[in-house]
Structure formats: structure tokens, C-alpha cells
Amino acid sequence: MVRARETNEEIEAIGYIRQSDQRQDKEDISELTQLRKIEQFCESNNFKLVKVFKDIDYSGFRIKYTKRPGLMDALKCIEDRPKVRKMIFFNLSRLTRLKKDFQELQGILNSHQVDICSASEFVDFSTPNGRLVAGFFVDLNEYYSDNLSEIVNDSKETNAKKGRWNGGPAPFGLVKTADGMGFEEVPERAYYVREIFRMAKLGKGPYLIARWLNEQKVYSLTGKEWTARRVRYMLTNPTYAAMQRWKGECYKLLVCPVLVSWDDFNYIQSTLFGKDKAWKGKERQLLTSVLICPECGSKMHSRYMSHSKQKRKYVCSRKTSMGAISCSSPNHDQESFEAAVINLIANMAEKKYGYESLIPEMKEDSDNNNSFSKLQDELANINNAEQKIFDDYYLHNKIEEHHYELSMRRYGKRKAEILELLDKIPLPQSKSFGDYNDAIQEFSELINELPNDDKRRSIELLVEKITPGAPAVVHFKWGETREIHPRSIEKFKKKLILY
């Protein structure tokens, strides 16, 4: 049963509604049904329902909870509104069907002193009885989803064999039929789909087709300009040939217009995307995934400087896909730019983690009240004290609510101070790594010896983005920025920056 605290203070609550796109019983657990149950729960327990958040057509099993916008808005509301003390669902499966996700969400809500409540099971998971059955409910929901996943896969295979659409958004140029089992064409867009496949059959590649579409002022379903990647995805989609791919096999769609014949579709796959034509990643350049044009914010790509194909440069992608007049940003010498970024990372590693940079908190200094070990011990003591206060209030009823809340606020404030101090102590945090200086020295030398593909992966792990210019600004994923100043600026047909 739900325990209402004996207090005159009104308890604020928020509701959360989720409905999966895979459910067959949508009427039994509809949005309105969930809302009414949440409202009844709040009324019977004297909770003030201040807001309700929704995620419609979002799975609680296949989609990570961080990718559900309604749930993330609910967590943001809890963070911004300290008076909220309850988060209420139709049942626990509406929050998540994964045990790992539930444990993470429970930790987040506990940190804000917000209780999880199930309106359908009529359980408050902040109570001893609630905590006892929470694990059982989560395990049961995960088992149900695992079993349902197998059933759905079997159902989709049957659908594919019978020529029915298996689900998902309609591709560009098509729209779903009323029953969702097939497609109808959108004439004004279907015309461009046919033109795209006609150009591809004539040997035009994705870059040229994307450029043509942008010149025609035709935009994608999301309202964005076309790129080679978007065109490539369209040209490899068998739906335009009234076929559906399921687990490596293609099946005929019974209700779908044919915008390209199956023979032409296969011809395009073999000529444009055959094994001998496929890009195997060997020529992928070092910085293309992190470079951002300083003028227009577009991605930047590598191109040869001249027909001799001896030297390369980084240029804005809008120049390559839409013509030189689309962006006025300068070009950047690839060889010198890559060398400058590699040297910057190597030098940072060597200086940041040398002996001379390790701050006193990492030393064995018993007189230092902010030493690493002492902060860790104090944090553990506070966690134990919080658990004791929690048990005294909820389990043993030894203390009053105002005493409980005052103690938890005091402990929370000190924990925040300790965590802030710990964040200022740099890695390494263990004394079992041996000679740090030698290890980091080896790393700074090794990064220059790695194959180009491994260098690229290393940079992607460390760097958020790079904005080239005079100077170029490197944004690291931990929030730090560094500048790289150019060695010279040369003027050919276009300004070229060397580093």
C-alpha cells in the first residue's frame, strides 16, 4: 500500500505516460487510460499532480531511456522543481522494461528524493514493501519483453512472406496506406525519386545527384539539404522497387508503387555499390569526422589540391556538393594540419600527467585534510549516515520528517563539496600503475607511430570538434580548448592555411 506522510504540506507529483508502437492492446493501455489512472492515484493519496509527460510510440525495451524526450523532460522538471516528491506511472513497465535502466533511473530519482509510484499495482516503491516487490516486477517485465521480442520477430517474418509492410517510417516519395500494410506514392516527390534512379542508371554518383537535388530546391523529409550519404541510402532501399528486405532476404510488397524496376535496382547495386566499387575505409582521412567549417558550420572533407594528386587539402563540404560560391571559407593544408593536431595531443599527454603535474592531493600526506583517501573515506561515511537516517525515518519511525529532511540536505551539501574536490584531483587515482611518466612518454611517442586509421579513432575518442582558422581551435571532450596557430597563409586561386 502507498503510505501518505502525516503532514499538512501538499506533496507535488508528476506523471509519466508511455505507449509502445508495437503493442496490440493499445486501447486497453491507451494514453487516456493511463492518464485517468494516474489522476485517480493522486486523488486517493492527496498528491498534487503538477504535470504529465508523454512518450508515444517509444519502446521501453528496444530504446534506451535517455533517447525518450518525454522522460528526459520529466527528469529535467524534477531537477528544476525541488518540491516534486513523487513520479507516478500506470505501471512499472511504463518507466522501462530493462532492469539496468530501472536501476539507473531509480538512482537518479533517489538523488532528488523522488519516490517511484505505480498507480496500477498501487505500490509506492519508497516503502519497504515497495522495495521488496520492485525487483520482482522489473524481472517480470524484462522476461515479458524478451519473450515478446521473439513473437514480434516471428510475426514480422510472416508479414514479409505475405507481402505486408513490417513497420517503420515511409521513405521519401511514398506514404503509408490507411492500414499501414503498404504504400501509396506522393506524385510531386515520386517524380524526383524516378529521376534519381534514372541518373544513377546512367552512371551519376551520389555526389552529383545530391548537387542536382539541391539546385532544384528539393529538400529531404526533415527539410534538410541532400548529401551523398542520403542519396546513397535511397539508392540502396529496395522499397522503391516494391520489395522489402527482412533478415537478408527480399520479399515482394503487395501494396506498393514501383518507382524503379527490380532489374534496374539490381543493376545500380552492382555498378555503383558492388564489391569492387565499395568504399573500404582505406582512404578515410584523419580529421574529417571532427572538422567543422568556421564560416557556415558544415562538415569539412579532404580533396586533392590539383590534378597531379600529390597533396591534399581540407575544404568545406558545401564547396564540393554545391559549388565554390556556397562558402567563402579558406582551404587548409592537410599534411601540416594533421601533424599539428597529433603533436598537440602528444604534448598535452606528456605534460598533463607527468610527475610535476600531479597535485598534492595524490601524495601520502596525513596532514592534508583534502587528500584523496580522506575524501573517499568521508564520502563513504556520509553514505552510511544517509542510509541510517533513511532507515530511522522510513523503517523504524524514530525521527520526525523535518529532522530527516534537514539531515539529508546537510549530507547532500557536503557530498557535493567532496565530489567537487575529487573532480579537481587528476588521474591516475591508483598507486598500482607503476611509473606514470614513462607510460605517458610511451603513449606520446606511440601515437605518432600508429596506423592512420588507429590515429583517427584515437582523435575521435578525445576531440569533440575542431574549428580551423587562424588560429584553429581544438575542443576536447572534457571541455578544454587549445589553439593551433598557422605557420603561414598562402594565396593561390583560394587562400590556403599551412600549420
Query: By CB neighbour count within 10 A (0-12 exposed, 13-18 middle, 19+ buried), where does 464 fall?
Result: middle
Whether residue 320 is predicted with pLDDT greater than 70 in this model: the reply is no
Count of Cβ atoms closer than 10 Å to residue 294 Cβ: 18
Q: What is the pLDDT of residues 195-216, one digit of tens each?
A: 999 999 888 888 889 989 999 9
pLDDT classification of 282: cutoffs 50, 70, 90: very low
Most confident stretch, 133-147, 175-189, 274-288, 385-399? 175-189
Count of Cβ atoms closer than 10 Å to residue 286 Cβ: 22
Mean pLDDT score, 119-132 = 67
Mean pLDDT score, 74-81 = 91
Percent over 90 (pLDDT), the chain: 14
Tell which residue, 485, 496, 60, has the closest CA to residue 313: 496
Most confident stretch, 223-237, 289-303, 413-427, 476-490? 223-237
C-alpha–C-alpha distance, residues 394 and 404, integer Å: 10
Mean pLDDT score, 247-274 = 87
Which of 83-87, 293-297, 420-424 is predicted least confidently? 420-424
Instruction: Find the DSSP H helices in 57-127.
Output: 69-80, 99-111
Tell which residue, 94, 44, 36, 37, has the closest CA to residue 65: 94
Torsion angle (degrees, nearest 10) of CA 139, 143, 144, 147: 170
- Where is 287: in which H helix or E strand? none
Give the pLDDT confidence score for residue 445 in this predicted structure: 61
C-alpha–C-alpha distance, residues 479 and 295, integer Å: 22
Q: What is the pLDDT of residues 360-387, one digit of tens each?
A: 444 444 445 556 677 778 888 888 888 8
Whether residue 126 is predicted with pLDDT greater than 60 in this model: the reply is yes
Give the pLDDT confidence score for residue 261 in this predicted structure: 92
Reading the block at residue 197, the C-alpha cell is 534512379
Asked if residue 55 lies in contact with residue 21, where contact means CB atoms within 8 angstroms, the answer is no
Buried-state track 2-11, b at ≥16 Cβ within 10 A, e below 16: beeeeeeeeb
C-alpha–C-alpha distance, residues 417 and 415, integer Å: 5
C-alpha–C-alpha distance, residues 276 and 270, integer Å: 9
Q: What is the phi/psi pair of residue 332, to 5°?
A: -135, 130
Reading the block at residue 49, the C-alpha cell is 499532480
Instruction: Find the DSSP H helices in 357-400.
Output: 372-394
Long-range contacts of 461-467 (CB under 8 A, 24+ apart): 462/345, 463/290, 463/341, 464/290, 465/290, 465/291, 465/292, 466/287, 466/290, 466/291, 466/292, 466/341, 467/292, 467/294
Q: What is the pLDDT of residues 95-110, one digit of tens each?
A: 887 777 888 888 888 8
C-alpha–C-alpha distance, residues 75 and 14, integer Å: 10
C-alpha–C-alpha distance, residues 255 and 32, integer Å: 33
Amino acid present at 373 = S
DSSP-derived secondary structure for 96-107: -S-HHHHHHHHH
C-alpha–C-alpha distance, residues 128 and 119, integer Å: 17
Q: What is the phi/psi pair of residue 411, to 5°?
A: -65, -40
- Where is 227: in which H helix or E strand? none
The mean pLDDT value of the chain amounts to 77
